[in-house]
Amino acid sequence: MPKYFIGVDVSTTASKALVIDEQGNVIATQSNPHELSTPRPLWSEQDPEEWWRAASASLRAVLQKVSPDDVAAVGLTGQMHGLTTLDKDGKPIRPAILWNDQRSGAQCEAITRKVGAKKLYQIIGSLLLPGFTAPKLLWLRENEPESYKQIAHILLPKDYVRYRLSGAYAVDVADGSGLGLLDIGKRQWSDEMLAAFDFPREWFPTLVETTEISARVNEEGARATGLKVGTPIVGGAGDQPAAGVGNGIVSPNQVSLTVGTSGVAFAFSERYNPEPDGRLHHFCHTPGAWMYMGVMLSAAGGLRWLHDELMPKASYDELNQMAASVPRGSLGLLFAPYLTGERNPHPDPLARGAFVGLTLRHGLPQMVRSVMEGVAFGMRDQLELLRVQGVNPTSAVISGGAANSPVWRQLITDIMGIPLYTVNTQEGSAFGAAIMGAVGVGAYKDVKEACAVMVRKVDEFAPDPEGVADYQRLYPAFRDLYPALKATYAALAQFEM
């Protein structure tokens, strides 16, 4: 019997293939990079063929380590929201418009006015934001009508790889939730949203559940990748819900905190219950379940910016030593971490970063620690939104680059006020996709059972009571930053172009 499961992750920077066995042990992994294009301010695009080139090369590499005959299933994951337009022959019409592209703000405002803000986020589980897929498609109609006229199919990034593997046009409900066109509570396309945008239903792929077999590898896909013809491909999920599975977040009150380039607080929900003001994403998760997701657009990316611009020759170990030498609160210096705008709880593409409280006493060590603390406070904002929704974690998984820094990890633990722990793999999304593949072909009865075997707690980190008390006093000052600076951000935006 086949005994391995492959997860393919089509991220913004690379496409990865990961092989695991039935116990969740990683057998092989390979990643190949993509090029990213930013042709204008606020734009972010990629050529879909880059995804296929990188994904097929990664699959060929891992299949040198295991036999294709031993692969029971493939699960797919990847960057969410990316608008991928295909013509009637299945060829890309133009570069895909990605999740971090901000050009469609006016289209979001127009549809929100048309549908009504409260009604809209009750349907789609979130405010409609420029990162979502549907407003990008509306932008295309208004600004590139010749491209728009050629459209026959709309896909998301990982689903383009599914199409190249199998010829099938399909999307899972978890990733599909980010298009802005699903009725999330009903887990189906929303006729009302399609009508509001005036998009033809036939452009959009078949909806499947995350563990449902959606397609099988065809001869063309097999030639390109080395997979066996007929290998099942399950629905999979977008990168964040897949990472939720990879972190074992499949039961009530479980939470994960991913502090990578962006920051994501993720929680499981047994029922559809949107946040009243739309300040959290509330999307479909594994079969019969939903998820809450709060997103910071810049998290560890903020520390990378500080490093690259002010001390590029320093190692990250040196930055950690600087932060460790500074007391909590960074001598009264706060950092607003909104370097690329913000999503939750402040859906504002004009939000910007700021150091507040600078004096002659402050230098690079205080700035480093202040950035770490500002990012952690931004993640605390997400946790507070989850708590309002009835999610009450007693601990949380931590992953991403910040989890590798002892000083950053500890101050996050103190700011959250609950223990944090790591799990047995940092492969996140690809690992979750492979788990869904295992469930899809019956190796486990459901995702919860699979995670109980495959996802294991490794290290736990306890909050320091003194640190909790200090940061609890500082947190209200951080929460005041965005309201105080909001008008200033808007005034400064006119000088950015």
302 and 383, same domain (yes or no): yes
Structure tokens at 104: 């469609």
Residue 433 lies in a domain: no
Residue 399 lies in a domain: yes
Residue 178 lies in a domain: yes
DSSP codes, 205-222: PEEE-TTSEEEE--HHHH
43 and 25, same domain (yes or no): yes
391: Cβ–Cβ under 8 A, 6 or more apart, which residues? 252, 253, 255, 267, 269, 292
d(CA 283, CA 174): 6
130 and 180, same domain (yes or no): yes
- pLDDT for the residue 209: 98
d(CA 116, CA 108): 11
Known catalytic membership, residue 198:
no
162 and 256, same domain (yes or no): no
322 and 347, same domain (yes or no): yes
Residue 445 lies in a domain: no
Which one of the listed residues 159, 183, 239, 381 is annotated catalytic?
239
* 270-309 as b/e: b if 16+ CB within 10 A: eebebbeebbbbbbbbbbebbbbbbbbbbbbbbbbbbbee
Residues of the chain with pLDDT under 50: none
Residue 456 lies in a domain: no
- pLDDT for the residue 2: 74
d(CA 435, CA 7): 8
Residue 441 lies in a domain: no
171 and 311, same domain (yes or no): no
60: Cβ–Cβ under 8 A, 6 or more apart, which residues? 225, 226
32 and 107, same domain (yes or no): yes
404 and 489, same domain (yes or no): yes
- Of 223, 241, 259, the domain-final residue: 241
229 and 94, same domain (yes or no): yes
Structure tokens at 10: 């089509």
Please state the domain count of the chain: 2
332 and 226, same domain (yes or no): no
pLDDT, tens digit (0-9, with 9 covering 90-100), for 12-62: 999 999 999 999 999 999 999 998 899 988 899 999 999 999 999 999 999
Residue 207's CATH number: 3.30.420.40
- Of 184, 218, 241, the domain-final residue: 241
**Do 14 and 54 touch, CB atoms closer than 8 A?**
yes
pLDDT, tens digit (0-9, with 9 covering 90-100), for 273-311: 999 888 899 999 999 999 999 999 899 999 999 999 999
The domain in which residue 306 lies consists of 248-427+464-497
347 and 496, same domain (yes or no): yes
Structure tokens at 431: 């690992």
46: Cβ–Cβ under 8 A, 6 or more apart, which residues? 12, 34, 35, 36, 37, 82, 95, 96, 98, 157
223 and 287, same domain (yes or no): no
Structure tokens at 324: 């460790």
Q: Residue 33, SS3? A: strand
Residue 170 lies in a domain: yes
Q: Where are the strands (E) in 427-479, listed by range?
A: 457-461
Residue 180 lies in a domain: yes
- pLDDT for the residue 1: 65
- Of 209, 241, 273, the domain-final residue: 241
